[in-house]
Every structure is written in structure tokens, then in C-alpha cells.
Structure 1
Amino acid sequence: MPDFDNNAVIATFLVYLALMLGIGIWAYRSTKSSSGYFLGGRTLGPWPAALSAGASDMSGWLLLGLPGFAFLSGLESLWLAGGLLLGTWLNWLLVARRLRAYTYAADDALTIPEFFANRFGDPRHILQAVAAFFVLLFFLFYTSSGLVAAGKLFETVFGFDYELAVVVGTLFVVSYTLFGGFLAVSWTDLVQGLLMAAALLIVPVMAISADGGVGPLVSTLTNHNPELLTLWRDNTGEALSVIAIVSLAAWGLGYFGQPHILARFAGIRSTADVPMARRIAVSWTALSMGGAVLVGLAGAAWIQTNAGGELGDAETIFMVLVNALFHPVIAGVLLAAILAAIMSTADSQLLVSSSALAEDFYRKLLRPQAAQWEIVAVGRLAVVVLALIALLLAFDPESTVLGLVGYAWAGFGAAFGPVLVLSLYWRRMNWAGALAGVIVGGVTVVVYKQLSGGPFGIFELYEIVPGVLFATLAIVAASLLTAAPAPAVSGGFDRFRAGLMKARAGERAAVAG
């Protein structure tokens, strides 16, 4: 990889990080309660809610993994990008409005495990504890993957030792998450989301222009490997199997169970803000993922034309193009977008994990009478402890970022997705069904991941597909085979729906007026 102008890049990074820490300190002065720390007091407008959900979702994978995949696989990557775009739209359409209304009606539930407990009646907090356990389990690996990506970025750009690079990245992420909580995370995600989208639009446009336009780009790719320009075959010319296509598109299923994304739905200011936020979120996702695929394709053509067709690590293509095409100061800003993507996800994961410890374990199981300041303090301590554990996992430089992300994404999607969606729509669902869904979904992902081969290569299917399927069957079976929800629980669901209908009526009246 070419050398970077370290002085210009370091200066740009320091300005960027100072801005992020400044936002964290501002949010710290506005955060006095656990509701404020974990959900921002439910005050997010449509822009920070939408862009925070998108930025916390994509992580460094958007600027490293997806461009690298498109660089190697060409238009095959659109199956993955399309599945994620569809999942984003459906999540905002089917879940956001109801979750905002229902979490507030369910005794102002601050976390997804707490919502499950309040929604189904969980007096011994078994469901809440099991759900919180899966949050902590999968987020440790998810957060670690972000720290690994940060380490590789600092190692590549600055020449730091890998371990030092991981420590530096961790310190910055923990600092503003520790101080500001949800508001700091969400407002920094707004800035970072805009930066990520701008970078993914500017870089491919410059790369295509440098090669003479779209025509020469297509010609270069056709001469290099025409299979890069096909949707139905891989880069070797083999037809994509149904299992391969389903596995790529099925990433979209994961959205319904990601706690760090769902927290944005619960924290939005009003259900009336959801339609605008949905349009912003879907537009941002479409532009960002389209830009990431273009980075990979434009990079493949640029490497053929300007670098003899050789690139050691496909996931560095964004950094290679930035260094080659831009002034060092501009390059520093664009490279900061990678750090933005990494930080915007890692901070959200740390915050959701700390809320699971503080709200779902500490307050519910250990200290029911804990004061607000005490819960916030425990949450902040949990951020530090969880970051240290993730840091230890990240010290292995051979860790595969995309593999860790895919595993955690599938785990959350299967353990929480079916339970959450059915909890918002099915009155007959009960506590036993919810518990069965969480356990079966999470365990299926863990077990299926260890399998390989099978008839027709069935065990090569992305583990989220069987996880979601078996979890849904478990929910329905357990709910129907056990007693119907108690009147207090089913009546609570009716009140949730009544509250949502009242909110919608108020929105329509406001529009008509």
C-alpha cells in the first residue's frame, strides 16, 4: 500500500476526534437520568434518529468489507446490498412506530430485554435475564470486531503497532460513550453518518473520472474479468446457487433484532417523526451501499489501469484510492470516515451492553431500589469493563472482522427479531413463546455455525435463515401449547394498540389542521 502523508492525516484525525469528544462533553452536561443516558430522554428528531440508526448499523464494514467484496465479486455484491436495503426499509416500516409507542407504554422500558419482560409479564425476570445474556454474548464479539477494524486502520495509516492501535481506538470510543451516553452516541453518529455517505459518493466519482468515465470503467472490467459485471454468476463464471443468493440477501433479516438499531426507534421523539426518519434512513442506506459497491468496482478498474492489477488486501481498496486520488488533507478527512464508521457502531454496542448490565441485571435482579444516579454510574462503569473485555479479544491480529460481524448479526437477528416482530403484532403470544423464541433463535445460530456441507450444501446457508425460521416456529408452538396470556398482559397489549391508534389519530388531525 502507498505511504500516507502522516502529518496531514494525523492533524485531520485529531481535529475530527476533538469534535467528537466535544459533542460527548456537551451531552454529558445534559444527561442526568438513566432514561437520558440510555435513550436520550426519547428526544431524538428524525435526522439524528435515522442517521444514527444507519451509522451504528454499518460500522467499518461499509467502507472496508463491502468495497472489498465488490472488488473481488463485482455485481454479485448487489444481492447483499439489496437485502440490507430491503431490511432497512421493512424495519422502519413495520417496527419503528410500534416499538416507540409500545416501549413507552410498557412502563417506559429502556432496553429490549426490559420491553420483553414488561410486555409479557416476567415477575421473576427470567426472560429479561436470558435476553440480556444474549445481548452481552453477541455484543462482546461485535464490539471486538470494531476494535479490530480500528486497530488495522491505525496500523495501516500511521504505522502503529497493532496492539497500540487497538488501545488508542478503544480509548476514544470509550471516552465519549462514557461521558455522554445515548445523546453523545446519537449526535456523533449524525456527523459520522453524513461523513461516511459523503466519502462513499466522492471517492468512486473521482476514481471513475480519473479513468476517463463510465465507458472506460466498463471496458476495463470487461477486459479484466467480464464475470464482475454479472448478477447471476460468481467471479469464476460459476452460476450462483439458490443457497448463495439467499445467504447474501438474508442479511436483511438481521435488522429486526439488532438492539443498537432498535434503541433508536425507542428513543425517537414522537411516532409522528417516524415517516420522515424512514425516508432519511432508506435514502442514506441506498446512497451509502451504492457508493460502497461503486468503490469496489471503480477500484478494480483503477488497480488494473494504474497498479498492474495487484492488490494484497481487497478490503484496503478504499484507502488505496483515497491516498492516490486526493490531497493529503482531503485524504485525512475521507480516512476519518472509516474511523467514523467504526466508532459509530462500537459506541452504540457498548452503550446497549452497558444498559443490559445496569438495567436488566443490576436494577432488576440486584438493586431494585437503586437511585437514578447509581444506575447511570453502573452503566458508565459497565462501558469501561465491557470495553476492556472486547479489547482483550481484539488483541488477536488474525481476527476476521467480517466473520465476527456476520456471526453477531445472525445471533441478534435470530434471537430477537422474531420475538420482537410478533410481540408487536400478535396478541396471543405469551411469556413461554417469547422465552422459547429467544433461546431457540440464539442457540440455533451458535450450533448451525459449527456445521458444514450437508445435502445440497444446506449447512452452507447463512445461519440467520434457520435461526429465524426455528425461532418463529418455537414462538408459535410454545404460545399455542401453553395458556393464553393473563388478562393483565393481553389487556396491556390492547392498551399499547389503543395508544398507538390515538397517536396516529393525533398525527392525522395535526396534518389536517
Structure 2
Amino acid sequence: MAVNWGGLIGVVIFYVIILAIGIYASRKNKGKSSMEDVMLAGRNIGMFLGVFTMTATWVGGGYINGTAQSIYDTGLIWAQAPWAYSLSLFINGLFFATHLRKQRYVTMLDPYQIKYGDRVGVLMFLAAYSGEIFWSSAILAALGSTFSVILGIDKTLAIIVSTCIAMSYTLFGGLYSVAYTDVLQLSCIFFGLWLAIPFAMTNEHVTSITETNWFGTWENKYTGVWIEGVLLLSLGGVPWQAYFQRVLSAKTPRYARILSFAGAAGCMIMTIPSFLMGAIGASTNWNETAYGQEITDSNIVLPLVLQYLTPQVVSIIGLGAVCAAVMSSADSSLLSTSSMFARNVYKRIIRPNASEREIIWVMRCSILVSGTIASTLAITIDSIYGLFYLCSDFVYVVLFPQLVCVVYVSFSNTYGVLVGYFLGLILRLGGGEPLLGLKPFIEYPFYENGEQLFPFRTFAMLVSLTTLCVVSALFHYLFTNNILDKKWDLLKCVTNIPSEEDERKNAFKTQNGLTVDVGLSMLTNNE
């Protein structure tokens, strides 16, 4: 396929503009070396900017391309990710946003390390990191597919170049650069996709979508799988650093809640053109188009609609929308993973005495590493929607129960956390994962021809949550009632907490602007 030079020039111009805005926004961090300034924009994100960056973070390339792919493949009834992810923002706004913002945490992992210990925080980091990396991979894979169709450029090259652009302005601008570029990117997504819809719908090769069965078909045997999908995406969309980075950067706890609700509404609005693109793709006689064949790779449904059902100028503008969607989420994911590593792993475990300037440079190096891993997965794994779905999988099973307990279960402790974490992980991995080539070593009920029809992910999550509560309650009872001597509290999390540990935890909270009262209340949760 020949390179579309006009489109390529347009994309280059778009990337230059995005890079320029990111670099301009990075000047707000000039001369500042505070973690809060880089990671949370000094907790000074206002309502307008906050709503844009919250929505743009969720509406990525995987979101719009994956939605169109799912509509084309299995129909509207199985395209759960867009509205379920929107629901996750609403749940966060109701139950978690205000609480974490009031405590003035810097990352989502701070409450875990304060309550359960530094090394437990590393376990949580691994689960959160895997989710963020799969998410970034889905985003970049969507862009690579779009570039290869519309511009005739090699998918691998497109992924690598786009990753480098996102990394470049995120490296030095932090959340300021990400938020400011999100405003332009979200505007481009909205305008670019809606502009293409009327041209695509009125193309001579497209049957009216009202006459096509793009709603999908229902089989009762998949009822449990469907319900689990909704739970996985809505609850698995809760414990994300990319989300909490915006919540924690809000000026007030009230703003944090409003941002969550507004983001949920924004995501639902932004998914409508992707739904329509998938329906248009399913209603098209592709043999009669210039494409000349039926679609064999559903990953490229949206770019095919843009390329073959709209005028060239419109398809290039639509490509800009996909580029914008990718950048708006890729930079957020890179920043969130690097923030967690620099603060919760490097600072808390590897070099406790590291200066803030050193931590910021570690964060920048982590951006490079995370970008490399994400782009590699995007190149090697085929399904965009599969990656989009998988990114919430392990987060749902492992992190969601932990977040509920660290916020709402006062007696939870490290013993329950460790048992619940590993038991949930084993039950999840036991079900296998075709996308990663993992074969199941546990055959759950209704196992059929290598396919798990039992909602084993939800089972693993519930077992993890229940185990965490029961084991925590057991050890709390044994130690606080002197049935076991406190010397056997080997993890020092119930009664055997030395005074220097108290001082270290209070110092950790004090350096982040927390009150003594809050620090004491958190510690009493373990006593």
C-alpha cells in the first residue's frame, strides 16, 4: 500500500502542535522540584481543565477503536467496556474520590503502604502496573492499526513514533503537560469522529443501520460471562492511578467528586460515534468498496470506515481524532505508572533518603521503561478490545478488594491482605488467559472445550475479599484479646508496632500535608 503523503504531513503537523502545547505547559513546572508539582500539578487543577483531562484519560484509542471492533464482532449487547468504564467513574465519585482527596495522598498506593507496610505496597504496585501497561498497549495498538490503514505506514513504526511523542512531553511537563494537551485532544476526538459519521452513513455501499443486526445475539449459556464482564469493567475500573492522579490533583474534595461524575457523563457522550462507526462497519458491503473484500481483522473496522467510506480530507481529520485519543490516554498511563514506581517503590523501598529531585528523575526514567514495554506488547498482541478488557482483569481480582478494605474495613491488616492477595491471584491465573497464552490449570464448573463459562474472575475477587476480611478479623481478635502474645505479631501490624514505626508513618503523612489527627486515626485502624 502506497504511503498517503498528504495524510502523513497532516499527522506530523498535529504531533508538532501537541508537542508544542506539552512543552509550553511544562514551563509551569520550571524551577519546581516538588513531587506534588510534577505528579499532581500542585493540586491546582480547576474544574474546566479537570473535566477535560478526566474524560480524555478514559477516552483513548482502545476506547474508540475497541468499541467499534466489539460492535462489529459481537454487537451492541456485548460492547460493555465503554458504558461500564463510565459507571466505574460514577462509583469512584460516590465512594472513593472524596475520601482519598481529603487525606491528601500523592498516589493511590499511599494508603496501602501507610496501613499495611511498604512491601505490601509493592505487591499492589505490581497489580496496578500490569493493568496500566495493558491499557497503554491497547491504546497504542489501536493507533498502529489506524496508521497502517489510512496512511499506509508500517504499524510498528507508527507505534514507536507515537510512544516517543507521548513520552517526550510527559517527561518534563508532568501532569500540567498531560492536562493541557488533553483539552486539545478531546476536542479533536469529538470533532473528528462526528464529522465522519454523516459521510460514512450516507455512503452508497452502506445499508441503513436500522436494517442490520448489529445489536448482537444472546445465548443463555453466556449469561454469567456477561454479568461478570460488567462487574469486571465497572469495579475493575475503580482502582486506577490514572484516575486518582486527577482526583488527588483537584483543588478540593468537592471538586474531586464533581470531576468523577462529569467524567462519567463525558465518557458516555464520547462513545456514541464509536458505536455508530461499528454499526456502519457491520452494515457495509465491503466487497463493493475500494477495499474489495470482507473484513478479516476487526481491529481495523474504525480506520476502514474512515478510509473507504468518507472523503480523504475527512478520513485524515478522523485519523487526527484517533491520534488525539491515543495521546490523551498514553501520556496519562505513562505518568501514572512512573509516579507510583518513583514514590511508592523507589522512595519507600530502595532509597528512603532520596531527594525529591532524584525521585523526579527516577520517574522520568520509569516513563521511558513503561513506554518501551507498552509499545512492545502493542506490537505483539493482536486484539485491541482484548487488551482493553484485560487491563481491568487483574485489577478487578486483586486491587479492588484491597481498595475496599483499606478505605472501609478498619480492622483489615497485613495478614489478611497477603492471604487474600495471593489466593485471589492463584484462582485468577488458574482460569487461564488465551490472550497471553496461559492455559487453565483449574477447570471451574461449566468448563467446556477449553472455555471457562463460570464467572471465575468474580469468584476469585469475592474469595479474595472474603479471605482478607476473615483472616484480618481472626488475627485482630487473637492479638487484641491476648490469646496470642504480641511477640508473635511478626508483621507488626496489629499490636506489636514499635514506636519508631509510628514515628515513620506519621512522618510520611506529615510530609504530605496531613494533619496529626488523620495520621492517628489511620494508625488506630490497625490497633
Q: TM-score range by the shorter chain?
A: 0.7 to 0.9
Matches within 5 A, 1:306-385: 307=289, 310-385=294-369
Matches within 5 A, 1:110-125: 110-118=106-114, 120=115, 122=117, 125=118
Q: Does 1:405 align with 2:388?
A: yes
Structure 2 residue corresponding to 1:248, chosen from 219, 224, 229: 229
Indicate if the aligned counterparts of 1:441 and 1:468 stay in contact, CA closer than 8 A: yes
CA offsets 1:106-165 (integer angstroms, 9 cap, x no match): xxx3222223112x152xx12122222333344444433433333333333332333323
Distance 1:313-1:142 versus aligned 2 partners, 3 A rule: same
Identity %: 22
Indicate if the aligned counterparts of 2:53 and 2:183 stay in contact, CA closer than 8 A: yes
Q: Does 1:83 align with 2:84?
A: yes
Matches within 5 A, 1:73-222: 73-102=74-103, 104=104, 109-118=105-114, 120=115, 122=117, 125-210=118-203, 216-219=208-211, 221=212
Task: State the partner residue of 1:504.
Answer: none
Distance 1:139-1:8 versus aligned 2 partners, 3 A rule: same
Distance 1:79-1:402 versus aligned 2 partners, 3 A rule: closer
Deviation of 1:415 after TM superposition, in Å, equals 2.0
CA offsets 1:336-370 (integer angstroms, 9 cap, x no match): 22122222222222222212321122211222222
Indicate if the aligned counterparts of 1:50 and 1:277 stay in contact, CA closer than 8 A: yes
Matches within 5 A, 1:377-456: 377-396=361-380, 398-449=381-432, 450-451=439-440, 454-456=444-446
C-alpha distance in 1, partners of 2:229/2:54? 21
Indicate if the aligned counterparts of 1:48 and 1:187 stay in contact, CA closer than 8 A: yes
Distance 1:481-1:498 versus aligned 2 partners, 3 A rule: closer
Task: State the partner residue of 1:510.
Answer: none
Distance 1:309-1:89 versus aligned 2 partners, 3 A rule: farther
CA offsets 1:383-428 (integer angstroms, 9 cap, x no match): 11232333444443x5433333322311122222222233222323
Distance 1:456-1:495 versus aligned 2 partners, 3 A rule: farther
C-alpha distance in 1, partners of 2:230/2:446? 19
Worse-matched range after superposition: 377-386 or 336-345: 336-345
Worse-matched range after superposition: 355-364 or 199-208: 199-208
Indicate if the aligned counterparts of 1:247 and 1:462 stay in contact, CA closer than 8 A: yes
Task: State the partner residue of 1:20.
Answer: 18
CA offsets 1:32-88 (integer angstroms, 9 cap, x no match): 222122222222223333332333234322222211111232232354444333323
Matches within 5 A, 1:490-509: 495-496=517-518
Task: State the partner residue of 1:285.
Answer: 267
Indicate if the aligned counterparts of 1:85 and 1:286 stay in contact, CA closer than 8 A: yes
C-alpha distance in 1, partners of 2:328/2:270? 15
Q: Secondary structure at the match of 2:284?
A: helix
Task: State the partner residue of 1:506.
Answer: none
Deviation of 1:247 after TM superposition, in Å, equals 3.3
1 or 2, which has the higher helix percentage? 1
Deviation of 1:382 after TM superposition, in Å, equals 1.5
C-alpha distance in 2, partners of 1:81/1:365? 37
C-alpha distance in 2, partners of 1:379/1:262? 17
Deviation of 1:240 after TM superposition, in Å, equals 6.0
Indicate if the aligned counterparts of 1:201 and 1:287 stay in contact, CA closer than 8 A: no
C-alpha distance in 2, partners of 1:368/1:185? 28
C-alpha distance in 2, partners of 1:48/1:322? 30
Worse-matched range after superposition: 41-50 or 169-178: 41-50
The one-letter amino acid paired with 1:29 is R
Structure 1 residue corresponding to 2:250, chosen from 268, 282, 290: 268
Task: State the partner residue of 2:8.
Answer: 10
Which gives a bigger RCO, structure 1 or 2 (Cα 8 Å, sep 6+)?
A: 1
Deviation of 1:476 after TM superposition, in Å, equals 1.0
Distance 1:211-1:476 versus aligned 2 partners, 3 A rule: farther
C-alpha distance in 1, partners of 2:465/2:61? 31
Task: State the partner residue of 1:507.
Answer: none
Q: Secondary structure at the match of 1:30?
A: helix
C-alpha distance in 2, partners of 1:355/1:443? 28
**What is the TM-score with the length of structure 1 in the denominator?**
0.82
Distance 1:80-1:380 versus aligned 2 partners, 3 A rule: closer
Unaligned runs of 5+ in 2: 433-438, 481-493, 522-527
CA offsets 1:267-293 (integer angstroms, 9 cap, x no match): 222112134323421221111223322
Indicate if the aligned counterparts of 1:441 and 1:467 stay in contact, CA closer than 8 A: yes
Worse-matched range after superposition: 349-358 or 423-432: 423-432
C-alpha distance in 1, partners of 2:240/2:38? 19
C-alpha distance in 2, partners of 1:356/1:320? 38
C-alpha distance in 1, partners of 2:261/2:130? 32
C-alpha distance in 1, partners of 2:330/2:144? 13
Q: Does 1:295 align with 2:291?
A: no
Distance 1:274-1:143 versus aligned 2 partners, 3 A rule: closer
Q: Does 1:459 align with 2:440?
A: no
The one-letter amino acid paired with 1:365 is I
Worse-matched range after superposition: 42-51 or 247-256: 42-51
Indicate if the aligned counterparts of 1:414 and 1:464 stay in contact, CA closer than 8 A: yes
C-alpha distance in 1, partners of 2:51/2:426? 31
C-alpha distance in 1, partners of 2:453/2:516? 42
Aligned length: 476
C-alpha distance in 2, partners of 1:324/1:400? 22
Q: Secondary structure at the match of 2:236?
A: helix
C-alpha distance in 2, partners of 1:314/1:211? 22
C-alpha distance in 1, partners of 2:169/2:258? 28
C-alpha distance in 2, partners of 1:402/1:287? 19
CA offsets 1:170-200 (integer angstroms, 9 cap, x no match): 2112111112112212222333233323444
C-alpha distance in 2, partners of 1:434/1:493? 26
Indicate if the aligned counterparts of 1:27 and 1:179 stay in contact, CA closer than 8 A: no
Worse-matched range after superposition: 381-390 or 323-332: 323-332
C-alpha distance in 1, partners of 2:357/2:398? 31
The one-letter amino acid paired with 1:409 is S
Indicate if the aligned counterparts of 2:444 and 2:456 stay in contact, CA closer than 8 A: no
Task: State the partner residue of 2:487.
Answer: none
Indicate if the aligned counterparts of 1:42 and 1:266 stay in contact, CA closer than 8 A: yes
